[in-house]
Each structure stands twice: as structure tokens, then as C-alpha cells.
Amino acid sequence: MSEIKLKGYRRSDSLFGIRNHIVVMSSVSCANSVVERIAKTDSDIIQITHQHGCTHMGADTEQVLRTLSGTCNNPNVGGVLLVGLGCENVSVSDIASHVDHSGKIVKTLLIQEIGEIQKIMDAARDSIRQMKDFVLKQQRSNFDICHLTVGLECGGSDPFSGITANPAVGLVSDRLVELGATVILSEIPEMIGAEASLKSRIPDDTVRQRLLARIKDYVRFAKDAGCDLRGSNPSPGNIKAGLSSIEEKSLGSITKGGRSNIKEFVEYARRPKCKGLVVMDTPGNDPESVTGMVAGGANLVLFTTGTGTPLGNPVAPVIKISSNTGMYQRMSDFIDINAGEIIKGTRTDAVADEIFEFLLDVCNGRQTAAEVNNCREFAINRIGPSF
């Protein structure tokens, strides 16, 4: 156990939320408008809608179910109302049966079963009242930082990302791992060309082979789509800014994972079994990748950016770290911490300390820029076509 104690909402002995959100979630896109209407009745409610839940098959059905139930299982969620249509692939009862109800309240509502909109709104109002009663009774209690899960993401990289923001986050990652927390490195396509660095840090043969095979899959996806990675990645903008190869871009990207050994390779939206540094199978698409990590249990996400983005998540605070001062000044109310001053001589470990202190404050309730701006992107990674 470490010296660092945080205050969170206890869901179980090893799961603590740093937020206590009430979520209204659609199980299928057909229920989205009703969910939006319910969410408009109360400003304390977090709305989650998406484009999935039906007319997909096999692995997609599993992945959508895992992502939706995983999001409900995220310890930052205290109450959830699942709204379904009634005839979809991914039913509200399927989702609810995959949610651990300990320390949280789960309600369901089926549009076809209730019938008319006013009756649906009345039922929703009842559920929301019960969820509020439950959630408001919960108090923050002390928990050790080893129970924290932190996701890592970068979006809109520039040549300074791999020199300023990512290495600073890498130091934070190493510190979290030393304290016993779980850190998730993601974005498999951003690992193409960095295999030598990654594999030297994966002691387990199976984990190493699975990760390397998955990186190869992405090289093949690009070829199958008729793209030459060498012609398209780094992008023309990356090249204009000084990045010369995909290896250089990927090696800069993975520095945010620090220097710890990689313990596990987990599927998209699945909760890691190991503490320490793990890799999740997510795409480079920022909302999809962050959604996957949060569904896998990430309490919060450290997000580095060179070009700037408003991106947040419905249930997990996203801490935005800029790689250059120019963008930070231009987009200051979207960014939490500027790592760009490392270029002018500020020490990387000083910025890492600033990020770490901010992270502790966010765990204890401080709002991130994305939360203040109500930026709450949610996107599920799809595998195959809709039918």
C-alpha cells in the first residue's frame, strides 16, 4: 500500500469511483431520442447514446455489449437507467446482467413495453428519483491509489508530442505503476514501427506474441484497403512538421507509457486482470479508444495533444496535456496542462509533477476542462458491417 490516499465512492474492496454519475444509456440507436428527452429533464444526468445495438453479428454484438456493460461497470458510475426499444440484439437485460450491481443502482426501461411517451417519461422520472436517492447517500471514503486505473491517449500529435507531453506523461505512468495502480496504453496502429522498443519490455511470451500479431494485423488492414503506410503515415502534415517515418511517430507515441514492463494485452473494452502497465487493443480513433479504456475500467484518461481537441468522455475525466505552447494559448480553455514549455527548458520531471498533482486533485473532485465544457464523446469501435 502506498502513502497516497484518495477519496472516492466505494463500489467494492478494489473498485472506487472518482465521480458518482447517474447515466441514462440507450441499448440501441432506436432509443436515442427518448434517452435525449429523458436527459433534458435533469441537468445532473449524463446521457450516453450511440449508433449500435442491433443489426450486427457475432464479435460486434459481443463488443457492443462489452462496451455498454463495461461503461456501466466503470466505478465512476453510481446509477444507470438503461433504455431499450424491446426487439434489439443487445437488450437492456443482457447489459444489466453483465453489470456488477454492488455499490450502484441499475434500472431498466423498455419503450415497446411501456408504450406512450408520457408514460415512458413518468417511468423514467421514477427511476431517476430512486437513483438520486441512492447516489446522494453515498459519501467519498479513503482509498489507496493502487485501486486507480488510468488510460493513456494521444490525439493530433506533432513532432513535439514525443519530446514534451508524451515523455512527461511517461514519467507519470511509471510513478503510477510503482504505486501499484493500473495504466492502460492503447492505440495499436500507433505502435507500428515501435515493435523493438515494446517487445523488449514484455516478459511474457504469449502477451508479446499477441501484441506483435495485432500490430501486424493493422499493417495488413492498411494494405488490404489499398494504402501504403509509408505514403500516408506520417501524414503530409506530420512530414511538413518534421516527422520522417512511422517508426519515429510511433516511438514518440509510446513514450507516454513510460519504461515499465507490459504485463497484459487486453481486448477492447475488457477490464485488465493485472496491475501495472497493460496494453488495450484499441484503434487510433480518439473517441473509440478512450471509450474502450473507460469501458475497461479507466477512472480517468491522460490525453496528450499537439493540434488540440475538446475531447472528453461521459463518465471519466479526461486530462488534456498540450505538447506546444502556441496551441495551449490558442485553445487554453480546452487544455488542462501545458507541456510545451519543456521546449524552452522547463524540466520534463517538473511537468510530470504538475500532471501528477493535477491528477490527484481530479481524483478528489476537481473538474477537468472537458468536464467544465461538457465534452462527453462516446464511440464504440466496430469490427464488421451492419446487416
Q: What is the smallest separation between the CB atom of 5 and another protein, expressed in angstroms?
A: 35
Nearest approach, Cβ of residue 292 and another protein (Å) = 25
Angle at 185 between CA 171 and CA 150, to 5 degrees: 70
Which residues have C-beta within 8 Å of that of residue 319, sequence separation ≥ 6?
A: 300, 301, 302, 303, 336, 337, 355, 358, 359, 362, 368
By CB under 8 A, residue 53 contacts another protein: no
Closest approach of another protein to the CB of residue 216, in Å = 11
Q: Calculate the alpha carbon distances from 221 to 4, 174, 229, 382 in Å.
A: 43, 32, 10, 14
Sheet holding 77-84, edge to edge: 45-48, 21-26, 77-84, 105-110
Cis peptide before 189 (omega within 30 of 0): no
Taking a C-beta distance cutoff of 8 angstroms, is the pair 264, 278 a contact? yes
Q: Is 171 in the site for another protein (CB under 8 A)?
A: no
Q: Is 343 in the site for another protein (CB under 8 A)?
A: yes
Q: Can you read off the three cell numbers belonging to residue 1? A: 500500500
Residue in 241, 331, 360, 383 binding another protein, rule: CB under 8 A: 241
Would you say 136 or 350 has its CB closer to another protein?
350
User: With binding defined as CB under 8 A, does residue 307 bind another protein?
Assistant: no
Choice between 26 and 157, CB closer to another protein: 157
166 vs 368, which CB is nearer to another protein? 166
Q: How far is the CB of 251 from another protein (least distance, A)?
A: 4
Q: Does 194 bind another protein (CB under 8 A)?
A: yes
How many chain residues interact with another protein (CB under 8 A)? 27
- Only one residue has cell 490525453, namely 303
Find the shortest distance in angstroms from Cβ 237 to another protein.
Answer: 12
Burial category of 220 from C-beta neighbours within 10 Å (exposed 0-12, middle 13-18, buried 19 and up): exposed
Q: Binder to another protein among 204, 248, 341, 353 (CB under 8 A)?
A: 248
Q: Which is nearer to another protein, 218 or 358 (CB)?
A: 218
Stretch that binds another protein, among 21-29, 36-44, 72-80, 238-246 (CB under 8 A): 238-246
Residue 31's alpha-carbon distances to 39, 122, 126, 362, in angstroms, are 12, 16, 18, 32
Q: Does 244 bind another protein (CB under 8 A)?
A: yes
Do residues 121 and 107 lie in contact, with contact meaning Cβ atoms separated by under 8 Å?
A: no
Site pattern 250..289 for another protein (x: CB under 8 A): -xx--x----------------------------------
The H helix count followed by the E strand count for the chain is 15, 14
Among 114, 219, 331, 383, interactor with another protein by CB under 8 A: 219
CA distance 92 to 27: 6
Site string for another protein, 93-122 (x = CB under 8 A): ------------------------------
Beta strand 15-17 pairing with 5-12: antiparallel
Of these, 114, 121, 179, 229, which contacts another protein (CB under 8 A)?
229
**DSSP H/E element including 176:** helix 165-178
Closest to 88 measured CA to CA, from 146, 30, 11, 137: 30
Q: How far is the CB of 150 from another protein (least distance, A)?
A: 22
CB 173, min distance to another protein, A: 16
The contact set with another protein (CB under 8 A) reads 158-160, 162-163, 192-194, 196-197, 219, 229-230, 239, 241-248, 251-252, 255, 343-344
